[in-house]
Structure 1
């Protein structure tokens, strides 16, 4: 069994614990703010859809709206993926000469 060193600097341990707690609280705070924002956006989206249906649209208008909403959703998802990819590229080694222009992406129709 190992012996614990007789001298343990309590301030170093305290600082390490405080830093760990602060980091975890920061991550928790970010997640809480993200969830609040998503909840607010979901509520706003629900109100907009509710207002749309109160206008008593015809089935053709409903189908067109659903198609537009899906296209917007898909566009936002792609923009989100591009942002993640750009961040990933920035984190790669600087020796890499790969840029977004070098990557041939397919056209999306």
Structure 2
């Protein structure tokens, strides 16, 4: 029984993470012309977070403010904020591409 509960919770957590991450990625994919993430953030983040807030509050009210529902949707809300922040943070990965030092070879 405990294994089923752990499996169910793991599935719910992974599904939630995937859905929130895909919803944020779709916002960035929809702007093929602009690759500036700060522009996309300024344009879309307010609408995204307002919609997410309304959805979370609506589900919390619909489930009669049960503690587990409040915990779940609070986690979803903060996960979305964390993923937006992570999407905007510049990558620290170094590319090890070799750049040519000599522009004109004999």
Give TM-score, length-normalised by structure 2: 0.45
**Higher-RCO chain (CA-CA 8 Å, sequence separation at least 6):** 2
Larger radius of gyration: 1
